[in-house]
Structure 1
Amino acid sequence: MVDTDALLAAYDAQMRMPSGAVPTGLTYERDGPVLRIVGGPVGRIRAPRDVGVTGAGLDRLIARQRDYFRARGQGVEWKLRAHDRPADLPRRLAAAGFVPGEPASVLIGPAEPVAAEPVLPDGVVLRQVSEAEDLRRFADLQTEVFGVDCSWVAADLGARVSADPDLITILLAESGGRVAGAAFAEFCPGTDFVALLGGATLPQWRGRGIYRALIAARARAAVDRNFRLLHVDASPASAPILRRHGFHQITTSTHYEWTPAHA
């Protein structure tokens, strides 16, 4: 039996705030209980499960984050989990102009059973990358798959590599020189966790094992570095595959976003 309560407790204790080197070009600023991440294409707010502020004090905390990034001419997103406190935080974020996105399933699984030699379709090779041109190709794939401009991803990945290349593994699955799928893993020092991020596969390659191969390769990298747990904020398309690999849902996460257009 899997103790999902224990997994949730480990997640809350270890995965609420970023760990390791600060990506090049970003700064982390504390404002009471929350961490403000500044310098990216949008601002980001990270918080403990219970921010410990209620009522008018919570409204002021939310407004400060919104107004800080408004002054920079940027949007900001506040990542909220379904079990966060206080219970009226979603309502207060909405009242301040933050708009919720689609919830993702927060899944956790053990790394060792998933770690394996990747099995790829004929003609597909898996390559670890870090050069700027390959990071651009990664971003181009995400733009094509997700249908939104993901060009910023290349700079984001480059900043992570520049800060500490040992804390990130970026993979491209290629066929005939074209990217068919991609994903990366972020190793979280001082924790049990590796975050699996950025997974995307071209429609014509889906159902042929590329996503599973990317999971296996990143799990193997986690085990090689003595991390025992894998974490994913999974889309509805990815969640069933991950569950078949032994991942368990512990909560959901939702990005509440404010942009100048919402003002």
Structure 2
Amino acid sequence: MRADPPPEPGVSRAWSGGVLRTTGAYHLIGYSALAGADVDREIEAQVAFFRTLGVAVEWKLYGHDRPCDLAAHLAQAGFVADETEHFMVCDLEAGTFDDLPPDGIEIRQVRDLTALEDFALAAGLAFDRDETCALDAYAARLADPTLALLVAYDDGRPVAAGRLEMPRGRAFAGLWGGGTVPGHRGRGIYRALVAARAWEALWRGYRYLTVDARATSRPILERLGFIELTRVTGWTLAP
């Protein structure tokens, strides 16, 4: 999935040496094969490319990527590490997804721009950041069968949100951006939001579900049947 990612609206991908880079709607190095290469030279080539563009780029480093000291090379080149997360996967045919929303909570899929605004509001409050960019990013994809956006409501108020990406022709779907607003945490809303997306992926014919999980989410996901495969850290280079 990393070395041959599925097509995605708004981005293009190209190999540069042993590095696969993504440009367009976002800028990412999601895969590299640098074992045996001149690592510093390859990294500097990417630094020069993205600084010429004048944009920030994230290099996603997985625990099994080689060489094993790639993180040190990235730091030396000016990349800064974000929080390390747990890359987890679940076999949907073996998972436990019987978690219903708690009393008073309703989970709905985003179908129109009004619901998309609710999604951006809940995500922004959950992660304490401006999510207005989501309005532009997802407005054109509301009819896209590879995307599902879900919002949890408490008496009509959006209190949690999460995204499900379902690339065509693949066995793996991915969970992204699941979060609950302060004041509604600890009630099982996050679990129910994961379960709702898992059922959607299973119904669409996907076998596996992946997620980059924070440490706080890991035990919840483990109870649902997810296992950790490796750790993943985003290394960001400022423009």
Taking structure 1 as the reference length, the TM-score comes to 0.82
Aligned letter for 1:232? V
Does structure 2 retain, via aligned residues, the 8 Å contact 1:112–1:219?
no
Q: Secondary structure at the match of 1:205?
A: coil
Does structure 2 retain, via aligned residues, the 8 Å contact 1:115–1:220?
no
1:130 Cα offset (Å): 4.0
Distance of 2:28 and 2:118 partners within structure 1: 25
Counterpart position of 2:101: 120
Counterpart position of 2:221: 242
Aligned letter for 1:18? P
Q: Secondary structure at the match of 2:183?
A: helix
Q: CA RMSD in A?
A: 2.1
Query: Is 1:232–2:211 an aligned residue pair?
Result: yes
Q: Deviations over 1:150-178 (max 9, x none)?
A: 3323333345x26x711111101112221
Query: Is 1:64–2:50 an aligned residue pair?
Result: no
Distance of 2:208 and 2:67 partners within structure 1: 28
1:59 Cα offset (Å): 1.9
Does structure 2 retain, via aligned residues, the 8 Å contact 1:54–1:86?
no
1:196 Cα offset (Å): 1.0
Query: Is 1:134–2:120 an aligned residue pair?
Result: no
Distance of 2:236 and 2:173 partners within structure 1: 25
Counterpart position of 1:259: 238
Q: Residues 74 and 190 (structure 1 numbering): CA distance in 2 closer, same or farther, change over 3 Å?
A: same
Tell me which of 166, 182, 191 is aligned to 1:203: 182
1:70 Cα offset (Å): 1.6
Does structure 2 retain, via aligned residues, the 8 Å contact 1:115–1:218?
no
Q: Deviations over 1:117-148 (max 9, x none)?
A: 65112222111114334333322322222223
Distance of 1:72 and 1:132 partners within structure 2: 32
Does structure 2 retain, via aligned residues, the 8 Å contact 1:45–1:79?
yes
Counterpart position of 1:109: 90
Counterpart position of 1:30: 15
Distance of 2:55 and 2:117 partners within structure 1: 23
Note the residue ranges of structure 2 that are not aligned, 5 or more in a row: none
Q: Secondary structure at the match of 1:83?
A: coil
1:53 Cα offset (Å): 5.0
Distance of 2:65 and 2:30 partners within structure 1: 12
Task: Name the count of aligned residue pairs.
Answer: 239
The structure with the largest helix share of the pair is: 1
Note the residue ranges of structure 1 that are not aligned, 5 or more in a row: 1-13
Counterpart position of 1:221: 200
Query: Is 1:151–2:132 an aligned residue pair?
Result: yes
Distance of 1:72 and 1:107 partners within structure 2: 33
Counterpart position of 2:68: 87
Taking structure 2 as the reference length, the TM-score comes to 0.90
Aligned letter for 1:208? R
Does structure 1 retain, via aligned residues, the 8 Å contact 2:2–2:31?
no
